[in-house]
Structure 1
Amino acid sequence: MIHKPKIVMIGGGTGLPEILHGLRDKDVDVTAIVTVADDGGSSGILRNYVNVVPPGDIRNALVALSELSELELEIFQYRFNSTDQFLAGHAIGNLIISALAEMKGGDIFAAVQELSSLMKIRGHIYPVTDEPLTLNAEFTDGSTLSGESEITAAHKRIQRVWITPSNNNDHHQAAAVKQVIDAIMDADQIVLGPGSLFTSILPNLMIENVGKAVCETKAEVVYICNIMTQKGETDNFSDADHVRVLNSHLKQNFIDTVLVNIQPVPKDYIDFKEWNEISQPVKHDFQGLRDMGCRVISSNFLRLRDNGAFHDRDKVVAELLNRLHGVHY
């Protein structure tokens, strides 16, 4: 039997599903490990009322790897209008995930595996833990905040982040389930990003057994560096600054390879009112990356659309596959 290369993607937000979708039809075994620290929008409301892991990032990952028809996926993604007071803002998929979790006695991991089967997923989707997590941040001014949406809205420079279980009555430590750790340890390639450094990527790595596994795995760890900085959080950051933050949180240089976009972003193209979380293109510090032991792959990974700057999914996926076959085959 031919061994399919195993890629594990870790993150959340909008960047993760984009790359997942690009990998779906490739000859690889894809696993998405998805953050459960989101507390905004529909996810946050359901989390508070149903006491369930926030489903939004999981929903988007399911859609990215599903082989259902476009119509079926549109229904799953449909979000009720704000005029529908009772269901305002909720995506149907969020309600389905929450309902299945309740049917499974609160076991979100089992619920997502059941839904993966129903939605004809090519690959695997694992919530990073089976309980809701709260993201905490300490800012450079010494103040602290709890909650992803609060931290993002503060637009302040973050010193460090950590996670705590949301239902922390017994002060236990959050831990990933065995399948998550096994996937990381068995992978040929671990991919972090693209996504918010402090609120999409680090919440997963701050779970002790996840961070430990990512540092110990024999897989190549690839970081897809953001194209634009995030207002308040990574203002004036270089690509090396992003990696420095990741390494400092795990207390070792664990990033092997960094994908860096070097295609300039036209100054007059970005609509900063529409994309109000971003501020400027990420600066380059290739020597800084090399000093941390990183292999640097710099290329044109830029895709301009809707007056915003995004990663070109196909180019990123092609580079990930090049790395995979170049390193392991």
Structure 2
Amino acid sequence: MRPRIVALGGGHGLSASLQALRHASDDITAVVTVADDGGSSGRLREQFDILPPGDLRMALAALCEDTTWGHQWSSVLQHRFGGEGELAGHALGNLLITALWDLLPQQQVRGLDLVGRLLNTRGRVLPMSLVPLDIEATMCDPGGDGDRVTVRGQSTVASHPGRVESIRLLPEAPPATPEALESIKLADVVVLGPGSWFTSVMPHLLVPQLAQAIRDTPAQRVLTLNVSLNDDEAAGYTAAEHVDVIATHCPDLTFDHVIADPKVARTGAERDALVTAVDRLGAELVLSDVSKTGAAGLHDTLRLAAAYRDVIMVGQ
């Protein structure tokens, strides 16, 4: 029997994990962060007071049916208008999701399910909360004088210079989407990450009901680290510190496996620190070459799929 898998994250990181997990199962639920406030999503969110659709759109495209029909509609969903008019910069899929939510008020999940039917997705896409969220971070001044500043907004946190020390959601303690909680309860495998660590991965653990569901699920829990430590948002963080952030923000949460590319811990000291951090999560460190050749910072879909398959088989 193919395992029931729930993958949590957002943006390109979640898209990579979904494309990889498709090789292990066709029963996949993506639980997507809803704090994006930039680009097309930010404009639509502000204009229509809706959940930001961009990360949801990307997850739907990643789960499209592996046929000509599915790929064509995935391309339509991902198409972004050029030029300088009012449509410039908007992805067509964002507009489609916005239209469905306008036609089906307060039925965000149903609207996403309808897009999934159009693409014949091999799985389901759910927002982690039905409340549009903002991310607020406390950051250390990059000047090194110890000053701290509060930064609000996903796009601002992602690009602001300095080291992120802590993050929180606004409003605090938002309710989780009921269907997301049910999917985690029934899952065989729950995967968190990769992705922008503070704005795509961590927000899931700041929704109390969602964090509790991940703690309580009998499913195998897998944490996937990024293949690069050079993104602006987590600049200065080692691989071990990425793991420690999880433990700091969500005490008592344990994992079974942590997947990491050897390139994120090159020296013996870095490797030892990562092993120690992973041990604190109660997990086994799985070192596997999952990066894409010639494309820094990106996961290779097939390599990541092989890593997932290996740890999922261990848990079966």
Q: TM-score, normalised by structure 1?
A: 0.86
Please report how far the alpha carbon of residue 219 of structure 1 lies from its aligned counterpart in structure 2 after TM superposition: 1.4
Choose which of 6, 11, 15 in structure 2 pairs with 1:8: 6
How many equivalent pairs are there?
304
**Contact 2:265/2:271, CA 8 A, preserved across alignment:** no
Please report how far the alpha carbon of residue 127 of structure 1 lies from its aligned counterpart in structure 2 after TM superposition: 1.0
SS at match of 1:243: helix
Partner of 2:303: 315
In 2, the alpha carbon distance for the partners of 1:251 and 1:26 equals: 30
In 1, the alpha carbon distance for the partners of 2:86 and 2:277 equals: 52
Partner of 2:163: 157
Amino acid across the alignment from 1:138: T
Please report how far the alpha carbon of residue 221 of structure 1 lies from its aligned counterpart in structure 2 after TM superposition: 1.4
Query: CA RMSD for the aligned pairs?
Result: 2.3
Please report how far the alpha carbon of residue 316 of structure 1 lies from its aligned counterpart in structure 2 after TM superposition: 1.4
Please report how far the alpha carbon of residue 291 of structure 1 lies from its aligned counterpart in structure 2 after TM superposition: 4.1
Is 1:300 the counterpart of 2:289? The answer is: yes
Amino acid across the alignment from 2:311: R
Please report how far the alpha carbon of residue 36 of structure 1 lies from its aligned counterpart in structure 2 after TM superposition: 0.6
Q: Which stretches in structure 1 are left out of the alignment for 5+ residues?
A: 166-171, 267-280
Distance 1:72 1:19, change over 3 A: same
Q: Which stretches in structure 2 are left out of the alignment for 5+ residues?
A: 141-146
Partner of 1:66: 64
**Contact 2:138/2:148, CA 8 A, preserved across alignment:** yes
Q: TM-score, normalised by structure 2?
A: 0.89
Note the alpha carbon deviations across 1:287-309, whole angstroms, 9 max, x for none. Answer: 33224422000121121235x23
Partner of 2:22: 24
In 2, the alpha carbon distance for the partners of 1:55 and 1:283 equals: 40
SS at match of 2:170: strand
Amino acid across the alignment from 1:79: R
SS at match of 2:286: strand
Note the alpha carbon deviations across 1:112-150, whole angstroms, 9 max, x for none. Answer: 112212221111111111221111112244321211011
In 2, the alpha carbon distance for the partners of 1:16 and 1:216 equals: 22
Runs of 4+ more than 4 Å apart: 263-266, 281-284
Please report how far the alpha carbon of residue 264 of structure 1 lies from its aligned counterpart in structure 2 after TM superposition: 7.8
Could you say which structure has the higher helix fraction? 2
In 2, the alpha carbon distance for the partners of 1:183 and 1:49 equals: 31
SS at match of 1:319: helix
In 2, the alpha carbon distance for the partners of 1:145 and 1:263 equals: 31
Partner of 2:78: 77
